[in-house]
């Protein structure tokens, strides 16, 4: 019995016209990297990849996390011979649980003697006559969906039980790069995941307020970057010392404007680092209305300090939906560890919810902005995952 892994990729990749080959190759490279250490042979067959390996289970577990992969199916390879195909289909049905079924055929090999409708009908009839248990056809909601694909060299048979859902999205590294502001909270890792899922290369920046935030808070952010890197490739985390900036703001600026001014510094530094390391954009885990600084006015005022697109993939999402993704991607348990972050320590009692750009700009004139930003950047710590 020959089993192969069939990788189906996201339909969006097919829409890329002349660039389709580029996306397919990138996906192939990304899967290859994920399978490092496993002996695997790739077979590219118009619009999908087949992978032959002895380590099937481990390979499927890794491939399903690759962005751009829609489904990973464990399929049986059969000679192009209708009797052999019918037998394999029957064998699959014996193994599958359920009392209703439907056969779906895809015939890429136009030389095959029957068309796809005929194959489905005849295999269905063969199963009905020969299966050793009671079974009915149900074309609308079958418990078992038996797939038959007839290609040029071989045919393949699998059922819905053999399908593992993939991460979907676009191949990582096909859509530019972003600097994710990664805090220890629930939201920003999810924002990073969603950007990476669309093929955007991730880099992370964390603002650390030593000694007001502990080493453990920093370790938590490192752990989150590490979890994210399981979905991406190498991730670089830039750790920026932020205490001096905060102290200076507390010392010179109005109390109710602390948060918003601090956020402007975060934006400036993220953009500055992006410029320095050739990164296209910045991203945050902000969601409209979630906290005082995430009002429309607040976002406008922090965007004022961005010299490149600032993406906020969670902007229109509810907290419960964000939490659901965090659980699914495995960041939730780390995010809820109770270590303080810099924002919770320096929160004003009554933060401004409707800051006015001109007023904030004026307030900031009390600070030596460039010097503060440069000093912070000169003292960054860089960690790779
Ligand atoms: P999160 O759950 O991601 O911490 P939050 O709901 O706590 O978000 P804020 O603290 O207002 O919201 O932060 C909004 C966004 O600003 C975060 O999602 C993150 O992108 C960025 N951010 C906040 N604090 C930091 C930090 N210390 N280092 C890096 N980025 C930060
Ligand atoms: Mg936070």
Feature table: binding site for ATP: 181-182, 206-207, 263, 285, 294
Q: Please tell me whether residues 214 and 356 are part of one structural domain.
A: yes
Angle between helices 56-63 and 20-34 (to 10 degrees): 130
Q: Please tell me whether residues 226 and 144 are part of one structural domain.
A: no
Q: 284 CB less than 6 Å from ligand 1?
A: yes
Answer whether 143's CB lies under 8 Å from 99's CB. yes
Distance CA 119, CA 106 (A): 9
Which DSSP symbol is given to 332?
H
Q: Please tell me whether residues 355 and 264 are part of one structural domain.
A: yes
pLDDT digits (tens, 9 = 90+) for 316-347: 999 999 999 999 999 999 999 987 665 566 77
Q: Please tell me whether residues 93 and 152 are part of one structural domain.
A: yes
Q: Please tell me whether residues 41 and 79 are part of one structural domain.
A: yes
Q: 82 CB less than 6 Å from ligand 1?
A: no
Q: Please tell me whether residues 22 and 119 are part of one structural domain.
A: yes
Write down which residue in 105, 133, 165 finishes a domain.
165
Answer whether 353's CB lies under 8 Å from 297's CB. yes
Q: 210 CB less than 6 Å from ligand 1?
A: no
Q: How far is CA 315 from the centre of its chain?
A: 17
pLDDT digits (tens, 9 = 90+) for 33-45: 999 999 999 998 8
What CATH number has the domain bearing residue 304?
3.40.50.620
Write down which residue in 97, 131, 165 finishes a domain.
165
Q: Please tell me whether residues 209 and 345 are part of one structural domain.
A: yes
345 occurs within a structural domain = yes
pLDDT, tens digit only, all 385 positions of the chain: 689 999 999 888 878 777 888 899 999 999 999 999 999 999 988 778 999 999 999 999 999 999 999 999 999 999 999 999 999 999 999 999 999 999 999 999 999 999 999 999 999 999 999 999 999 999 999 999 999 999 999 999 999 999 999 999 999 999 999 999 999 999 999 999 999 999 999 999 999 999 988 899 999 999 999 999 999 989 999 999 999 999 999 999 999 999 999 999 999 999 999 999 999 999 999 999 888 789 999 999 999 999 999 999 999 999 999 999 999 999 999 999 987 665 566 778 888 888 999 999 999 999 999 999 999 999 999 999 9
Could you give the number of structural domains in the chain? 2
Q: Model's pTM, two decimal places? A: 0.90
Nearest to 140 by CA among 92, 90, 100: 100
Distance CA 103, CA 212 (A): 63
Terminal C-alpha separation, the chain: 40
Domain hosting residue 31, numbered range: 2-165
What CATH number has the domain bearing residue 52?
3.30.2130.30
Q: Please tell me whether residues 306 and 203 are part of one structural domain.
A: yes
Write down which residue in 119, 143, 165 finishes a domain.
165
Q: Please tell me whether residues 132 and 182 are part of one structural domain.
A: no
Q: Please tell me whether residues 80 and 32 are part of one structural domain.
A: yes
Q: What b/e readout covers 217-232, taking b as 16+ CB neighbours within 10 angstroms? A: bbebbbbbbebbbebb
171 occurs within a structural domain = no
Q: 223 CB less than 6 Å from ligand 1?
A: no
Beta-carbon-side half-sphere exposure of residue 246 (alpha carbons within 13 Å): 22
Q: How far is the CA of 298 from the centre of ligand 2 (A)?
A: 15
Q: How far is the CA of 380 from the centre of ligand 1 (A)?
A: 18
User: What is the Cα gyration radius of the chain?
Assistant: 27
For residue 269, what are the contacts with CB-CB under 8 A and spacing of at least 6?
205, 207, 240, 373, 376, 377
Q: Please tell me whether residues 88 and 150 are part of one structural domain.
A: yes
Q: How far is the CA of 342 from the centre of ligand 2 (A)?
A: 8
């Amino acid at each position: 019995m020959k089993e192969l892994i069939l990788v189906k990729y996201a339909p969006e990749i097919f829409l890329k016209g002349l660039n389709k080959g580029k996306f397919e190759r990138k996906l192939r490279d990304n899967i290859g990297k994920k399978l490092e250490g496993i002996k695997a042979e790739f077979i590219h067959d118009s619009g999908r990849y087949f992978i032959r390996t002895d380590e099937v289970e481990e390979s499927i577990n890794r491939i399903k996390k690759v962005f751009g992969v829609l489904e990973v199916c464990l399929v049986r390879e059969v000679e192009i011979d209708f009797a052999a195909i019918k037998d394999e289909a029957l064998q699959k049905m014996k193994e599958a649980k359920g009392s209703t079924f439907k056969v779906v055929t895809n015939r890429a090999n136009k030389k095959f003697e029957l068309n796809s409708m005929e194959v489905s009908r005849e295999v269905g009839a063969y199963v009905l006559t020969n299966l050793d248990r009671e079974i009915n056809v149900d074309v609308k909601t079958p418990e078992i969906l038996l797939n038959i694909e007839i290609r040029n060299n071989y045919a393949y048979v699998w059922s819905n039980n053999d399908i593992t859902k993939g991460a979907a999205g676009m191949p990582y590294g096909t859509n530019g790069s972003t600097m994710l502001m990664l805090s220890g909270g629930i939201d920003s890792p999810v924002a990073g995941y969603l950007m990476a899922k669309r093929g955007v290369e991730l880099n992370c920046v964390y603002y650390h307020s030593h000694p007001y935030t502990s080493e453990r808070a920093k370790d938590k952010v490192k752990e989150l970057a590490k979890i994210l890197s399981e979905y991406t490739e190498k991730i670089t985390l830039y750790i920026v010392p932020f205490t001096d900036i905060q102290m200076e703001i507390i010392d010179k600026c109005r109390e109710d404007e602390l948060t918003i001014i601090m956020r402007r510094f975060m934006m400036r530094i993220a953009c500055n680092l992006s410029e320095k390391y050739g990164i296209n954009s910045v991203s945050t885990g902000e969601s409209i209305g979630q906290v005082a600084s995430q009002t429309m006015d607040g976002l406008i005022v922090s965007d004022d300090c961005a010299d490149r697109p600032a993406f906020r993939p969670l902007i229109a999402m509810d907290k419960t939906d964000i939490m659901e993704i965090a659980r699914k991607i495995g960041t939730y348990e780390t995010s809820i560890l109770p270590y303080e972050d810099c924002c919770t320590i320096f929160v004003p009692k009554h933060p401004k919810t409707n800051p006015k750009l001109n007023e904030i700009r004026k307030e900031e004139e009390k600070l030596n902005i460039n010097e503060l930003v440069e000093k912070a950047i000169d003292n960054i710590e860089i960690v790779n995952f």
